[in-house]
Structure formats: structure tokens, C-alpha cells
Amino acid sequence: MILPSIASAQTAWDMPTPYPEGNFHEKNIATFVEEVNKDAGDAVKITVHPNQSLIKHADIKNAVRDGIVPIGELLASRLSNEDPIFGVDSVPFLATSDDQAWKLYQAQKPFMEKALKRQGLKLLFSVAWPPQGLYTKEPVTKMSELEGKSFRAYNKFTEELAKDAGMIPTQVEQADVPTAFSTGRVAVMMTSPSTGVDTKAWDYLSHYYLLNAWRPRNIVVVNEQAFESLPKTAQEVILKASAEAEKRGWKASEEETKRTTALLEKNGIKVEQPSADLKASFEKIGQTMTEAWKKSAGSDGEALLKAYDGGK
């Protein structure tokens, strides 16, 4: 199949996203697209393709880079194998509150923009997920009770966390989570209450522990060549809508945390604080992973953490 080049592409833009339409990230993107399509006139029209329906999550960044699609959404930490800078938001217990997560993003943003620019990509906006907690099939009070269990991983950091905790990491996309649990492929996961609700965790799990371990973020990126080929007025419309989407998305994430945590409980999941022993064990892993991340990220990582510490 011969794909059109960015230069010859029409103003119709396809936008692949990884998550289902009901997800709060996708609702936010739908509003972003609606605003762009309304205010940009005939300059550009964006059509969203949610839930990996057009391009698989793992391939979205490269598809935007290569001009197969001009714009797309993905989990930032999926790119941490390319550059550790992309994964700092998923280092356990580095940023656990809304305020800390925002400050970490501000420290990370210029480094991430530079890394994306090297691939001909432009960051439009980034929105955090609710805090990550632990989902299990039975009560857990100490780390040793998790050893040997299969753990749903979705990036490099969740793989490392599982290994450090004595679990077996298994890569599973959000859309495949229910099947992975029902078939016994995985037995434990650490993810947001939002993902728990999206995947109806109460059908296959019983407990959710409020670890608030980290706040991973999605990013929306655009191919720079495609962006710059638009009229200046359309570029300004996209940048304005992006700024509004980022602000709206972070507020929605806070509200989503409360809403979905309550829904987990309403549907029979036992929502509990972790035991002191379990939390301390995970925090110890977090400290080790922070040092490992800092070493892997080199001078940029050191500068990023210095900027983050200074902004606290």
C-alpha cells in the first residue's frame, strides 16, 4: 500500500488513540477535536479513531513520526526505552499527589519536547492518569504474598516493579485486561481506578489498595511537518485548543479519581489503604528505581530532578 506523504496530504487528519470512547482521556480529546474542527474552518478536520481501532498503541508514535497519520495520543512512558526522559512520570513514589505530578511534568516538559523534536514531533499537551493502585484477587498485607504471581505490565517501569517485587511481568494492553485475568494469564495489576472501571475489574478481582504509587501521563503529539503545513491561523487554533485540553484534562483527572474509586467500591471491590508493611516495601522499590532512572537518564535526568526538587 502506498501511503500519501505529509506534503500531499489533505486537510483531513486521522487521530488514533489507545483507549475507549468512554474513558476520560478520550472525552477530553473529543472536546479538543470538536474545538479545532469548529474554529479552524476548512483548514483542518480531525477524525478520532479510539481504542486502537486504526493503529495499535505500540505503533502510534512511529505512525505520527513517519507521516502515516499526522496526530495521535499515547502513554508517554511507552517511549522510555528510546529515552529515559519519557518515563520519569512512572517512577514509583517520585510524584504521588496531583500537585507533585504537575510539578514533575513542568520539570520534564522541556526535555521531552527536545527529545520529540529530534524525531520531527511536537508535543501538544499531556494529561495525567489518576494515581496507580494495586489490584488483587485476594487480600494482601505483605510483599511476600505477591511473589511468583503474574503481573500485568504496560511499560518498562511496571516490568521492573514486578521483577523487584518477585512477580512475573506480562505485557497486556488495557483492552485485553479482562481476558488476561479471566484466562489466568495475569493475577495482579497496578493501575488507576479509571482503568479498573473501564475494564470492570469487579468481574475478576476483589481488592484495590490505595498506594498512590505514581501518575503516568498520556501525550498528544503532532508531526511537525504536517503542523507547519497548516495556515498560521489553524496552527494557533490547535495550540489554543491544546492548552485548554491540558488544563481541562488535569482537572478531569482529579474528578475521575474520586468518581471511579467510588464506582469500584459500589461494584463490590474492597477499596483499602495498604498495610504499613506493604507500602514500605513498595516505597523501597521506588527508591531503588528512582536511583536507577537517574543513572540511566544521565545529565538530563539529574537536571530534571533538580528542577523538580526546586519546584516543590
First and final C-alpha spacing in the chain: 51
Provide DSSP, the chain: -PPPPTTT--SEEEEE-SS-TTSHHHHHHHHHHHHHHHHSTTS-EEEEE-TTSSS-GGGHHHHHHTTSSSEEEEEGGGGTTT-GGGGGGGSTTTS-SHHHHHHHHHHHHHHHHHHHHTTTEEEEEEEEPPPPEEEESS---SGGGGTT-EEEE-SHHHHHHHHHTT-EEEE--GGGHHHHHHTTS-SEEEE-HHHHHHTTGGGT--EEE-------EEEEEEEHHHHHTS-HHHHHHHHHHHHHHHHHHHHHHHHHHHHHHHHHHHTT-EEEPPPHHHHHHHHHHHHHHHHHHHHHHHHHHHHHHHHHHHH-
Cross-strand pairs, 133:
191
Domain boundaries, the chain: 12-128+215-257, 133-213+265-311
218 and 23 in contact (C-beta within 8 Å)?
no
Per-residue pLDDT, 311: 62
121 and 223 in contact (C-beta within 8 Å)?
yes
- Estimate to the nearest angstrom the gap between the alpha carbon of 280 and the chain centroid: 25
Q: Name the pairing type of β-strands 71-75 and 217-223.
A: antiparallel
**What are the backbone angles phi and psi of residue 271, rounded to the nearest 5°?**
-95, 115
The CA–CA distances, whole Å, from 297 to 82, 85, 115, 292, 312 equal 11, 6, 12, 9, 21
pLDDT in tens, the chain (312 residues): 334 444 444 589 999 999 999 899 999 999 999 999 999 998 999 999 999 999 999 999 999 999 999 999 999 999 999 999 999 999 999 999 999 999 999 999 999 999 999 999 999 999 999 999 999 999 999 999 999 999 999 988 999 999 999 999 999 998 899 999 999 999 999 999 999 999 999 999 999 999 999 999 999 999 999 999 999 999 999 999 999 999 999 999 999 999 999 999 999 999 999 999 999 999 999 999 999 999 999 999 999 999 999 865
204 and 188 in contact (C-beta within 8 Å)?
no
Residue 297 cell numbers, joined: 537518564
222 and 289 in contact (C-beta within 8 Å)?
no
Q: Other C-beta atoms within 10 Å of 214: how many?
A: 29
Task: Give the chain's radius of gyration (CA, Å).
Answer: 19
CATH 3.90.650.10 for domain 12-128+215-257, yes or no, is no
pTM for this one? Answer: 0.90
Per-residue pLDDT, 43: 95
Question: Could you tell me which CATH number the domain at 133-213+265-311 has?
Answer: 3.40.190.170
Topology alike, domains 12-128+215-257 and 133-213+265-311: yes
